[in-house]
Structure 1
Amino acid sequence: MATLPSVTAPAHSTTAETTTPRYTTALSAVTTLFFLWGFITCLNDILIPYLKAIFQLNYAQANLINLCFFGAYFLMSIPAGKLVARLGYKRGMLLGFGVAAVGAFLFYPAAAQRVYGLFLGALFVLASGITLLQVAANPYVAILGPARSASARLTLTQAFNSLGTTLAPLLGSALILSRLPKLSNATSAAAIDVTAVQIPYLVIGAALLLISLMLSQVNLPQIELATEQVADVEAGSVRAWHYRHLVLGVVAIFTYVGAEVAIGSHLVNYLALPDVLGLNPEAAGNRVAYYWGGAMVGRFVGAYLLNKISPAKLLAFNAVAAVVLVLISISTSGEVAMWSLLAVGLMNSIMWPVIFPLALAGLGRHTEEGSGLLCTAVVGGALVPMLFGVIADHSGLRLALLLPVACYAYIMWYGLRGSRRAVVAAA
């Protein structure tokens, strides 16, 4: 079984901080990974309205993009966790970059053949590589320094992830949505140049390989193994899923990713509604940058606040604020409806980097297994938007926004009660 990765100072060291400086370079290197996968993930918000128009899809059909992308987390996270435990964090990340690059390059033949199914396949391969990166990099950052600052450290690296999600809508709108004319019938849809996605994804694939090459040259420190820190209760048949706060954390990740993706993926269509702002696709796509930009700002601010405020309490506060903002958007129109929904991105900012370490706290040698379970919960980004799409097809986008409200309500409860550590009896 895996042993506990730890950054605790050796027994004869006077302070844990004596080991901290050697992690600075490693943390800087890993932070670059967060930027690129944020960019790739958020580009789906541009891809969905683009392919929806080209292939004349309804909301549920368009959300097959999210199903294939985030469904890869469900299918691949646990195998990825075992692979990382065997290969190590660095080799796991390098392999993840390679697989993701292959997925990005597959967009070229998918566009050339003009087949929706090929796009979905390319997205699944791309997401499988990103899943491996997530499983390796998130716990690596969490344990790359003192445990007490894990939430702040992960929040800071996630801020650079948000920088990627902020730039993606701007570049995607300029390079992809700008090529999308107003459609009146299926004939005009067939005339759209689907190859607009080829160059952006070829560049992404090349960037993945380049960063992989750079990372291979960085000397990442080996995390010391501290088997003596494993609690007695962990001996025997206790597994990661016997920790109540981890299991509830898995649900929290599921609801957080589901709510964030459901809102982000439909912002272009929401802002195009006549009773909101009636924006054209390119203009609406540019506004999506504010949603993800809010998350970026919130994560930089959160990296400071999490050293001053209880992470669990801050998580609950942000969840309540998100509920209020979504309800305001549902009940208003025009600029108020737009800005209140875009402001939800600010509230999303610290959710992932707080839930992740809260759920992994005290898992010891089960940390890798717990990380795999948490990343599996990213399937919320596949299932919640699908349900959102079904509701939107039948009742409209406004009513569908009540689904993220329910998700944020659960996250509030997790911050206040569900994140408390407890180990249930093994079966």
Structure 2
Amino acid sequence: MALTSTATSAAEPSTNGKGYLFPLILVTSLFFLWGLAYGLLDVLNKHFQDALNVTKARSTLLQAAYFGAYFLIALPAGIFMNKYGYKKGIILGLLLYATGAFLFFPSAQMGSFDFFLLALFVLASGLTCLETAANPYVTVLGKPETSAFRLNLSQCFNGVGSFIGPIIAANVFFNESSGQDSGNLDSVKMVYVIIAIVVLFIAVLFWRTYLPEIKESEIVSDKAQDTKPLFQHSHFVYGVIAQFFYVAAQVGIAALFINYCTEAKNEIDNSKAAYLLSISLLLFTVGRFAGTALMRKIAPNILLTIFAVINIVLCVMVVWGKDWISVYSLMAVFFFESIMFPTIFALGVKDLGHHTKKGSSFQIMSIVGGALMPYFMGLLAENGTAKAYIIPLFCFVVVAWYGAKGYKIKKG
């Protein structure tokens, strides 16, 4: 189904939602695609440790390449879309995604971890473009009163992709024919070439489908003026710091999850641990629904503090535990961290007036914590993975403080 281009304004989809059902499905597919990419990422850590004989610390460079791309490419992606439009930005993102996925083939042929890092950086650069564009598109592809519903529905498919990723990896990367040499990378080649082909197909669909161009003035609803400089808003500054530490915790926890489970219980092998990771990501998705429901009764900052304190306790059990109780505690962390990113984001940009868009950009850039902190966790993990979880424990202390004190808006 291809829609012909007209002089329709960006606001027109709101009054003619039925005509944009197919574009909405296409945009929602993007949420699934980057969820799938992230779901596969954490399993690759352990697979490359075995197949390429890299250390735990070195394997976390995968997270550095992935989230480093978000930090470095976010602003250029925004500039590109402001100049050429969001549709072209999405197509560029899909082409970069497919290129990065195809690069996994020569990386596997060479058995080169460094080339895998380059391939992943290119892939994640594409994801950065997609994430920059997807949210505003979803909000305009239908009636204004259902925009929040559409966005939440699309985000659910992100969780589905994250949940399916480890299941695919468990069945393909850690199957019975897998050994301990670079020849096992054939499974990686197969998975990413298939992903690249699917992504290219979706890029063609976007190219053939009319999508409204969204102007910046139409997405930013709060045009209030504020003479106070952005960085004098303490709740915003503390929000960026809290977001940095939260993303650091989230990424680090997942990156070494398989290592932790296989060390905590002898009967847990790589495949079983990958399934446990998938269940944990499902808990993360469920936690988002549950947390959203709880916010109708509990203030967001209070719920953020409660969940952060619970995760501090769970991390203590992870660090000191040795049996199934520690594994279950680690899995439970995923449920309670689920609301943290959007809650910190919302509290951090609240009442910023005309600074809101720029403040949002800094919030997004703070995910660089996910590129940096896992490496230090990997260094600690060389002497036992459990010790590495001291770092996310500290990160959740910062989040708890922000929910209790740092979120407060200071007037004047």
Q: TM-score normalized by structure 2? A: 0.85
CA gap 1:180/1:292 in 2 versus in 1, 3 angstroms? farther
Q: CA deviation at 1:320?
A: 1.6
Which of the numbers 252, 260, 266 marks the counterpart of 2:256? 266
Instruction: Give me the whole-angstrom Cα distance separating, in 1, the residues matched to 2:346 and 2:199.
Output: 27
Contact 1:299–1:349 at 8 Å: present in 2 too?
yes
The match for 1:225 is 217
Q: CA deviation at 1:141?
A: 5.6
Q: Deviations over 1:289-315 (max 9, x none)?
A: 111111111123334333443222222
CA gap 1:372/1:102 in 2 versus in 1, 3 angstroms? farther
The match for 1:78 is 75
Find the residue that maps to 1:206 and give its secondary structure.
helix
CA gap 1:364/1:126 in 2 versus in 1, 3 angstroms? farther
Q: Deviations over 1:268-291 (max 9, x none)?
A: 111111x43442111211111111
Is 2:197 the counterpart of 1:200? no
Ranges in structure 1 where 5+ consecutive residues have no aligned partner: 1-8, 10-17, 184-188
Which of the numbers 133, 137, 141 marks the counterpart of 1:136? 133
Which of the numbers 238, 254, 258 marks the counterpart of 1:248? 238
Residues 363-382 of structure 1: pairs in structure 2 closer than 5 A: 363-382=352-371
Instruction: Give me the whole-angstrom Cα distance separating, in 2, the residues matched to 1:70 and 1:378.
Output: 7
Instruction: Give me the whole-angstrom Cα distance separating, in 2, the residues matched to 1:348 and 1:381.
Output: 14
Instruction: Give me the whole-angstrom Cα distance separating, in 1, the residues matched to 2:165 and 2:221.
Output: 45
Instruction: Give me the whole-angstrom Cα distance separating, in 2, the residues matched to 1:234 and 1:151.
Output: 30
Contact 1:149–1:307 at 8 Å: present in 2 too?
no
- Indicate the percent of aligned positions where both proteins have the same amino acid: 34
Is 2:392 the counterpart of 1:400? no
Contact 1:329–1:341 at 8 Å: present in 2 too?
yes
Q: CA deviation at 1:179?
A: 5.6
Amino acid at match of 2:261: L
Instruction: Give me the whole-angstrom Cα distance separating, in 2, the residues matched to 1:415 and 1:218.
Output: 42
Q: CA deviation at 1:146?
A: 11
Answer with 166-175 or 279-288: which moved more. 279-288
The match for 1:50 is 47
Contact 1:110–1:119 at 8 Å: present in 2 too?
yes
Find the residue that maps to 2:387 and give its secondary structure.
helix
Q: Deviations over 1:47-83 (max 9, x none)?
A: 1111111221111111111111111122112222333
Instruction: Give me the whole-angstrom Cα distance separating, in 2, the residues matched to 1:146 and 1:320.
Output: 39
Instruction: Give me the whole-angstrom Cα distance separating, in 1, the residues matched to 2:395 and 2:148.
Output: 21
Q: Deviations over 1:168-219 (max 9, x none)?
A: 1111110112267465xxxxx35x4212101111121122223333445253
CA gap 1:406/1:44 in 2 versus in 1, 3 angstroms? same
CA gap 1:319/1:214 in 2 versus in 1, 3 angstroms? farther
Which of the numbers 238, 256, 277 marks the counterpart of 1:288? 277
CA gap 1:29/1:116 in 2 versus in 1, 3 angstroms? same
CA gap 1:125/1:76 in 2 versus in 1, 3 angstroms? same
The match for 2:57 is 60
The match for 1:126 is 123
Instruction: Give me the whole-angstrom Cα distance separating, in 2, the residues matched to 1:127 and 1:35.
Output: 14
Is 2:96 the counterpart of 1:99? yes
Contact 2:243–2:363 at 8 Å: present in 1 too?
yes
Q: CA deviation at 1:398?
A: 1.3
CA gap 1:211/1:348 in 2 versus in 1, 3 angstroms? farther
Amino acid at match of 2:311: A
CA gap 1:269/1:371 in 2 versus in 1, 3 angstroms? same
CA gap 1:228/1:380 in 2 versus in 1, 3 angstroms? closer
Contact 1:264–1:291 at 8 Å: present in 2 too?
no
Q: TM-score normalized by structure 1? A: 0.82
Q: Deviations over 1:132-169 (max 9, x none)?
A: 22223346667989999998876554332111111111
Which of the numbers 344, 347, 350 marks the counterpart of 2:333? 344
Answer with 22-31 or 169-178: which moved more. 22-31
Q: CA deviation at 1:323?
A: 1.4
CA gap 1:228/1:30 in 2 versus in 1, 3 angstroms? closer
Answer with 142-151 or 61-70: which moved more. 142-151
Q: Deviations over 1:99-153 (max 9, x none)?
A: 1111111111111122111111000101111112222334666798999999887
CA gap 1:233/1:369 in 2 versus in 1, 3 angstroms? closer
Amino acid at match of 2:395: C
Q: State how many pairs are aligned.
A: 397
Ranges in structure 2 where 5+ consecutive residues have no aligned partner: 1-10
Amino acid at match of 2:202: I
Q: CA deviation at 1:344?
A: 0.9
Amino acid at match of 2:400: M
CA RMSD between the two structures: 3.3
The match for 2:203 is 212
Q: Deviations over 1:213-262 (max 9, x none)?
A: 34452534746837995333259xx4x54543333222222212211111
Which of the numbers 337, 341, 354 marks the counterpart of 2:343? 354
CA gap 1:415/1:228 in 2 versus in 1, 3 angstroms? closer
The match for 2:173 is 176
Instruction: Give me the whole-angstrom Cα distance separating, in 2, the residues matched to 1:92 and 1:359.
Output: 27
CA gap 1:406/1:154 in 2 versus in 1, 3 angstroms? farther
